[in-house]
Each structure stands twice: as structure tokens, then as C-alpha cells.
Structure 1
Amino acid sequence: MSVKTIEDLFIHELSDIYSAEKQLTKALPKLARAADDAALSDAFHTHLEETQGQIERIDRVVEVLGIRLKRIKCAAMEGLVEEGKEIIDSIDQGALRDAALIGGAQKVEHYEIAAYGTLAALARQLGYKDALPLLLETLEEEKATDQKLTMLAEQGGNQRAAQEGRKAA
């Protein structure tokens, strides 16, 4: 896609995050199954529901702006999903894998936070007043998910992984 204007950039970025969210809906159930800790598995299931709502919000942005998304594949999310698969394939189920899954999930959240922050800034610049609240709502959800993942890690996930490691040594 040729990006020549700020409007083109907005559509490109929105198309990219749409692809990212679609890829995430396929990856999250696998992450939930791979998690050993029930709270982490539940967090992945909750984020799947949120992601489906975020896709619906993107659809509303498209509708209110009267634009068409481009058919592109988000390479960044493709790489992050692949990292998640590598974690599952290379680390035995347990606290260490959970710690790695949390780290991988936070990489995803940070990517999404950056993407929605960029989209919100572009929407402000373009005067897309009807789209901006939808983008900001998703941005806040992504930040909240990142905080939940941090709490899971700090409330014992990383500590359990460290204890498992000492036992194995």
C-alpha cells in the first residue's frame, strides 16, 4: 500500500492492528491451554473476549469514518505469536513456562499500546472525533491488561518459577 497522506497512514495503521487483533484471537486459546496457573489461563480467556470487542470497535471506526481497511498481515504480531509458540514448544509446562508466557503476552500488550496510542494521536490530528473515543477505550483496555499481567508475575508467578529452578539445579 502506498502511504502518501496522514489519512493513508491512519488507514494503514488501523489495517495493521486489525490484522494483529485477528491473529491474537487465534493465539490466545493456545496460550490459555499452555498456562499451568489457572489465573493466567483465565487472564488469556478474558483477553480473548476483550480482543473480540476490540475488533468490533475497529469495525465501528471503519463504519463511522466511511473508510475501507487494507488487506495486510501484521508482521510484528506474526513474530510475537511465533515467539509464543516457541515458548510452548521449548519450555515444559509449569511455573517457568508461565513466567515466559507472561513476558511474551506483555510484549504483545506493549505493541498494542503503541499501535493504539499512535492511532489515537492520528485521529486527533485528523479531527476524527467519533473514532477517537473508540480508540482510546481500546488503548485503556490494553494498558489494564498489561497491568494485570504484571500483577500475575509479581504475585508469585516469577517467584514460583525461581523456586522450580532452584529445585531442578
Structure 2
Amino acid sequence: MTKEKTLEDLFHDTLKDIYYAERKILKALPKMARAASSPELKVAFEKHKDETEGQIDRLQQVFELMGKRAQGKTCDAIEGIIAEGEEIIESFKGTPAIDAGLISSAQAVEHYEITRYGTLKRWAEVLGLKDAVKLLDETLEQESNTDKALTELADASANELAKAA
């Protein structure tokens, strides 16, 4: 008979999913920075790359708190979101719309991460994993702030430049 799956199993499974996603995002960010035309957007991607490294470290700490080895499992959602971003780079590179497209791709990533971290934080609370709650909340805050910063960049110039073309 198979063991009943618990919230802890679901938490661990989702943790592996976001761990894979973060490592995939870390590889995609330099490509996005190179494709960006605005210096501000390039800097935003570079800053988020540094933050993502810290987020991976925090996830490793959460695995440790659970007594588990840090490992990822293929995240089809992030694979799709990143593939869409690569498609935008291919189709719009060198055009006035590239930055607006890159921002939309980056925000799709952020919204996925916000969803995952919000859920993991709630589950950690229910499971009584206080230290994990703090680590996940720190990342959730960063992801929310990155999303806001991207919206500001889009509103400040990227969307208008894309439209003007």
C-alpha cells in the first residue's frame, strides 16, 4: 500500500519545483540583460540575477531545515515562460518593442514566483516551520518589489517607446 501524501510532501515537492525554476531563471537573466536596449532594464536584470543567487541560497536553507537534500524537479511552467521570453527576444530584438516584451516576460516569471512563494510561506506556517517562513517571506518580498520595479520601468518609457514605433 502506498503511503498517504501529506502537506509536508506537497511542500517538499513544490520546493523542488521552485528550486529548479530559480536555477533556470538564473541562467536566463544574463540573456535577457543582453537583449535589453535600455540601460535601466539591463541594470534591473543584473540586479535580479544577484537577488536570484540569494534566493537559491535561501531555498537551500529551507531544504536543510527539512533535513532534505536540495534538488530540483523539472518545472514545466517555468520552461514555458522562459521559452516565451526567448521567442520575444527572437521576434523583437533590435526593435523599439523589445524592452516592453522583455518586461512582460520578466513579469510572467515574477508572478509565477510570487504565487509559489506565497503558497510555500502559507504551508510553512501551517507546518510550523518558523525559520522557513522567514526565509520564504524574504524572497516573496524581493519578488514583489522586482515586479513593482518592472511595472515602473514599463510605465516610465518602455511601453511608450514600443507604441511610438
TM-score (norm 2): 0.95
**Residue 118 of structure 1 corresponds to which residue in structure 2?**
119
CA change 1:135–1:159 in 2 (3 A) is same
Matched, 1:78 2:86: no
**What SS class does the counterpart of residue 119 from structure 2 fall into?**
helix
- CA distance in 2 between partners of 1:3 and 1:82 (Å): 35
- CA distance in 2 between partners of 1:77 and 1:42 (Å): 22
**Which structure 1 residue ranges, 5 or more long, are not aligned?**
165-169
Q: CA deviation at 1:94?
A: 3.5
**Residue 94 of structure 1 corresponds to which residue in structure 2?**
95
- CA distance in 1 between partners of 2:50 and 2:71 (Å): 24
Percentage of identical aligned residues: 50
- CA distance in 2 between partners of 1:47 and 1:100 (Å): 17
**What SS class does the counterpart of residue 131 from structure 1 fall into?**
helix
Q: CA deviation at 1:66?
A: 1.3
**Residue 47 of structure 2 corresponds to which residue in structure 1?**
46
Counterpart mapping for 1:1-169 below 5 A: 4-164=5-165
**Residue 167 of structure 1 corresponds to which residue in structure 2?**
none
Number of aligned pairs?
163
Q: CA deviation at 1:112?
A: 0.1
Give the residue type in structure 2 aligned to 1:88: I
Q: CA deviation at 1:63?
A: 1.4
- CA distance in 2 between partners of 1:156 and 1:93 (Å): 16
TM-score (norm 1): 0.93
Is contact 2:20-2:71 (8 Å) kept?
Answer: no
